[in-house]
Amino acid sequence: MANPVLLLGAGVSIDAGLPNAFDLTRRIYNELAIAQREEAKLFAYVIGKLITRQAKLGVSPFREVNVEEVYDALKRFLSRDSDILAEFVYSWDPVSFPSAQTFDVHRFAASMGSAFDVRRSLDRISVTANNRALRDAAQQISDAVRPSHHQYDLESSLRPYLQVLVACLQPKEDSFGYLTSLIRFSRERVSAIATLNYDTLLERTCGQDSTAFDYGLSGWNDRKYVRFGKKGLPLIKLHGSINWVEDGDDISVVESPKVHQRRGLIFGGQGDKLVSHGPYLQLRHEFQKLLNSTNVFGIIGYSFQDRHLNAIIRAWVSSRRKAKLVILDPGTPRLGHDVLGNWVSTDKDGRITRYKVEIEHIAETAANGMERFLLSLTRPPRPGPLA
């Protein structure tokens, strides 16, 4: 069988000081609010609605909100008129936030100064009004006391969130040394590393360690297929990367993308995880193909919340006879039937006879448990009867 395949989730980046999906919600709002962006008000509004929804479902209103849920709700709300369910909705909750107004004192004074023409003669004073100047002054007063309302459109409203997201995913140079052992181990002993993360921690670690890596995209723009060569560690970025730029179906790797360029990211809730454009479906297929070629699977910091990815893991478990799953995560993995499926073998009487997959959980952070995790990957699976 082939070497192990690894899957990395957000937990692998936390030790480098990068925020998780819940911390990102707060960070993005704070950055938008400090910059006095109108989008901060919309972001806060959607967060409030999601918290209300949680409370109605019996969840604590003090529970944090996942940034991908917020972003998904934003997209759906801003494009609500194109939703087929819009025909069944009598009215949407109106979103209209007053924008801050500026009052130009000098312009107003100039308008008022020219609003009246005073003429003196020996026996009387005549006053005539400049109607145009009066209307201009009156309009300025009206604009100052009447709140204007910011209009939101999908593309321009979502762009600031992704810009702040990218800024939040920039680690300090000395913060990710714990990944060096992972990269050195993977150079010779791992078939591929798949990651759900958008950050470039792995790429930067490879650069510091002089390790070549391969996104599999060398033939994508010309031939629209993903292929990993024999040189370089296969690095499968299932949800894209902050250094990818999309132009239609094409993907370019850019060190510092321009503000106006479209980032190559699949960002959002479950509905956004499978997209028809770009290389993402093929990357997922390549990951599944490589996973099915091995009996040793290592996972670091994945929360098992992606239904599509869980289906791939479940298919791998179901097709194994003697395999091993090593999980590095400080919390308790959510390993339900949707992830493991039928992970044990039974005899004709229904008695459990052996594991299909040996599961080892290392309850440590990525930084603290990495060496133990890598050592476990070198040990062969140990199938046996359950106690």
Phi, psi of 221 (to 5 degrees): -65, -35
CA distance 363 to 169: 25
Is the CB of residue 21 less than 8 Å from the CB of residue 68? yes
- If you search the block for the tokens 């009004």, which residue do you land on? 129
Span 309-362, pLDDT tens digits: 999 999 999 888 889 999 999 998 888 777 887 776 667 776 666 678 889 999
**Residue 303: strand, helix, or coil:** coil
Domain map (residue ranges) of the chain: 5-18+171-378, 21-98+150-166, 102-145
The whole-number pLDDT of residue 272 equals 56
Q: Please give the span between the terminal C-alpha atoms of the chain, in angstroms, as a whole number.
A: 28
Q: Which fold has domain 5-18+171-378?
A: Rossmann fold (3.40.50)
Residue 17 is predicted with a pLDDT of 92
Q: pLDDT for 264-321, tens place per residue?
A: 776 665 555 566 677 888 999 999 999 999 999 999 999 898 888 999 999 999 888 8
Query: 273 to each of 50, 124, 167, 201, 270, how far by Cα in Å?
Result: 20, 81, 22, 22, 5
Tens of pLDDT, residue by residue over 45-64, are 888 989 998 899 888 888 88
Spatial distance between the Cα atoms of 53 and 76, rounded to a whole number of angstroms: 16
Percent of the chain residues topping a pLDDT of 90: 32
Smallest CA-to-CA distance from 186 within 122, 234, 125 is with 234
Q: Are 195 and 226 spatial neighbours (Cβ–Cβ below 8 Å)?
A: no
5 contacts 290 by C-beta, under 8 angstroms: yes
Burial class (CB in 10 A: 0-12, 13-18, 19+), 247: exposed
d(CA 25, CA 371): 32
* 278 Cα distance to chain centroid: 17
Buried/exposed code over 88-103 (b: 16+ C-beta within 10 A; e: otherwise): eeeeeeeeeeeeeeee
Name the band, by pLDDT with cuts 50, 70 and 90, for residue 387: very low
